[in-house]
Amino acid sequence: MVAEKSPLTVAIDGPAASGKGTLARRLAVEFDLPYLDTGLTYRAVAAQMQLDNVALDDEVAAIKAAQRLDLAALDRDYLSDHQIGAAASKVAVMPKLRAELVELQRAFAARGAVMDGRDIGTIVCPDAQVKLFVTAGAEARAERRFKEVAAKGGTSSYDDILRDIRQRDERDSSRSVSPLKKAADAHLIDTTKMDIETAFLAAKTLVLQAIER
Ligand code: C5P
State the Cα angle at 204 between 201 and 208, rounded to 5°. Answer: 140
- C-alpha 131/C-alpha 149 separation (Å) is 29
180 CA → ligand 1 middle, Å: 9
DSSP, collapsed to helix, strand or coil, labels residue 134 as: strand
State phi, psi for 112 to the nearest 5 degrees.
100, 135
For the segment 126-170, what is each residue's pLDDT rounded down to a tens digit?
Answer: 999 999 999 999 999 999 989 988 888 888 899 999 999 999 899
**21: CB partners within 8 A, 6+ apart:** 37, 39, 116
Residue 97 has pLDDT above 60, yes or no: yes
> At the top level of CATH, which class does the domain 7-34+113-213 belong to?
alpha beta
Query: pLDDT tens-digit profile of 16-48?
Result: 889 999 999 999 999 999 999 999 999 999 999
Categorize the per-residue pLDDT at 82 as very low, low, confident or very high, splitting at 50, 70 and 90.
Answer: confident
d(CA 156, CA 2): 56
Checking if the pLDDT of 122 tops 60, the result is yes
Helix residue spans in 10-137 (DSSP H): 20-30, 38-51, 59-67, 76-79, 82-91, 95-109
Please give the pLDDT value at position 113: 98
What is the reported pLDDT for 92? 95
pTM score of the predicted model: 0.94
Residue closest by Cα to atom 9 of ligand 1: 89
* Residue 105 to residue 103: CA distance in whole angstroms: 5
Number of the ligand 1 atom closest to the C-alpha atom of 13: 21
- Ranges 70-84, 105-119, 139-153, most confident: 105-119
User: Residues 8, 129: contact at Cβ < 8 Å?
Assistant: yes
Question: What does the pLDDT read at residue 148?
Answer: 86
* Residue 200, φ and ψ in degrees, nearest 5: -60, -45
The protein residue with its alpha carbon nearest to ligand 1, atom 13, reads 89
The pLDDT of residue 4: 64
Which residue's C-alpha comes closest to atom 21 of ligand 1? 117
SS3 116: strand
In angstroms, rounded to a whole number, what is the distance separating the alpha carbons of residues 62 and 80? Answer: 19
- pLDDT over 60 (residue 1): no
Domain coordinates of the chain in residue numbers? 7-34+113-213, 38-110
> What gap in Å lies between CA 70 and CA 125, rounded to an integer?
20
| Binding pocket residue ranges, ligand 1, CB within 6 Å | 16, 38-39, 42-43, 85, 88-89, 92, 117-119, 168, 172
Sign, CA torsion 42/74/203/136 = negative
Flag whether pLDDT at 77 surpasses 70: yes
Burial label for 202, CB within 10 Å (0-12, 13-18, 19+), is middle
**Per-residue confidence (pLDDT) for residue 2, from 0 to 100:** 56
pLDDT score recorded for residue 3 = 58
Mean pLDDT of 53-76: 96
- In the DSSP assignment, the letter for residue 2 is P
| Predicted pLDDT of residue 178 | 87
Q: How far apart are CA 64 and CA 100, in angstroms?
A: 10
Check pLDDT > 70 for residue 103: yes
